[in-house]
Amino acid sequence: MNVLRGIDEWRRFRAALTGSLGFVPTLGGLHEGHAALIQRAAADNDLAVVSLFLNPTQFNDPGDLASYPASLEDDLAHAEAQGAGAVLAPDREAIYADGFRYKVEEAPLSGELCGAHRPGHFSGVLTVVLKLLNLVKPDRAYFGEKDYQQLELIRGMAEAFFIDSEIVACPTVRDADGLALSSRNARLDAAGRALAPRLREALACPGSDGQVADALSRLGFDVDYVATRFGRRLAAASIPTRSPEGSVRLIDNIPLERVRSASDASGGDPS
Ligand code: PAF
């Protein structure tokens, strides 16, 4: 597997490539959810490329950035084991040589749902994804449906800026108990880990979004929102932990077809 750290080094590598390229952008902290994206990129294309870049501009909370669990050594081994042929792992100065003077702004969706609770987050995401798509020039770029609002925004940006890469959506990968895989899950303590799958369960319960939010609050979640958009029910909620970093924020969503109707629900009350 080729590991490229510099922008010029990457450009030379890219210029010499023939065949199709599938791209999986990541923050690092690779887990089985990323594994599915990398395997898909490798299966669909002649070469799968993974980027490892802990993008500071999308973290509105410095504590969240500082505690993000990414290890270059582990991530390189993981990417290679899943079939990546190359990894692009640039440093912050290389990606933000402009000091983040130039940025992608979108409205109104960037200010809603997660955007309402994480000011500037989606501007950081869209800016880095545009930079990476311009550098990597993939035929296809792979994103997980867990971050559904992000996926919608990236699709819209690719269309608005005439990006030639196909944006490929991949299903959420879950643990056996239904918890959506996320790098942040590693920060849950035992009680938090036991509570976390209830987020997915609650999303599937009948009743209004407000009722689901109330039920999650009763369970001990600190709820940012439960909302129906894009033909899906989406939620973001935090679980308090005893670790110094404080609470762990989880997001999840399911298609509305998976929301049980009141008549087929065994319990009815999500709590
Ligand atoms: O979903 C992520 O991991 C990040 O938001 C992304 C798309 C890699 C941009 O930094």
In a domain, 242, yes or no: yes
Ligand 1 within 6 A of CB of 95? no
Which CATH number is 48's domain given?
3.40.50.620
pLDDT at 266 over 60: no
Residue 163 shares a structural domain with residue 251: no
Residue 127 shares a structural domain with residue 223: no
Average of pLDDT values for 110-135? 98
List, for residues 213-222, the tens digit of each pLDDT value.
999 999 999 9
pLDDT band at residue 268 using 50, 70 and 90 as cut-offs: very low
In a domain, 143, yes or no: yes
In a domain, 178, yes or no: no
Task: Write the residue with the smallest CA distance to atom 1 of ligand 1.
Answer: 26
Residue 166 shares a structural domain with residue 213: no
More confident residue, 270 or 228: 228
In a domain, 116, yes or no: yes
Average of pLDDT values for 114-143? 98
Residue 194 shares a structural domain with residue 64: no
Average of pLDDT values for 228-245? 90
Residue 190 shares a structural domain with residue 166: no
Q: Are 7 and 136 in contact (CB under 8 A)?
A: no
Q: What's this model's pTM, rounded to 2 decimal places?
A: 0.94
Q: Are 69 and 33 in contact (CB under 8 A)?
A: no
In a domain, 42, yes or no: yes
List, for residues 19-75, the tens digit of each pLDDT value.
999 999 999 999 999 999 999 999 999 999 999 999 999 998 888 888 888 799 999
User: Range of 248's domain?
Assistant: 183-264
Amino acid residing at 127: T
Ligand 1 within 6 A of CB of 127? no
- The DSSP letter of residue 112 is S
Residue 229 shares a structural domain with residue 99: no
Residue 233 shares a structural domain with residue 155: no
The residue length of the chain stands at: 271
pLDDT band at residue 237 using 50, 70 and 90 as cut-offs: very high
Give how many domains the chain has, as a whole number: 2
In a domain, 269, yes or no: no
State the chain's mean pLDDT as an integer: 94
pLDDT at 218: 97
In a domain, 176, yes or no: no
pLDDT at 270 over 60: no
Residue 137 shares a structural domain with residue 197: no
Ligand 1 within 6 A of CB of 58? yes
Residue 151 shares a structural domain with residue 32: yes
* Domain limit, last residue, from 170, 200, 217: 170
pLDDT band at residue 244 using 50, 70 and 90 as cut-offs: low
Q: Report the nearest atom of ligand 1 relative to the CA of 25.
A: 8
List, for residues 2-17, the tens digit of each pLDDT value.
999 999 999 999 999 9
Residue 139 shares a structural domain with residue 188: no
Which CATH number is 210's domain given?
3.30.1300.10
* Catalytic residue from among 34, 78, 117, 121: 34
Residue 164 shares a structural domain with residue 61: yes
Residue 107 shares a structural domain with residue 145: yes
List, for residues 145-198, the tens digit of each pLDDT value.
999 999 999 999 999 999 999 999 999 999 999 999 999 998 899 999 999 999
* Domain limit, last residue, from 145, 170, 195: 170
**DSSP per residue over 182-226, as a string?**
-GGGGG--HHHHHHTTHHHHHHTSSS-HHHHHHHHHHHT-EEEEE
Ligand 1 within 6 A of CB of 37? no
In a domain, 175, yes or no: no
Q: Report the nearest atom of ligand 1 relative to the CA of 26.
A: 8
Task: Write the residue with the smallest CA distance to atom 3 of ligand 1.
Answer: 26
Q: Are 228 and 215 in contact (CB under 8 A)?
A: no
Identify whether 117 is a catalytic site residue.
no
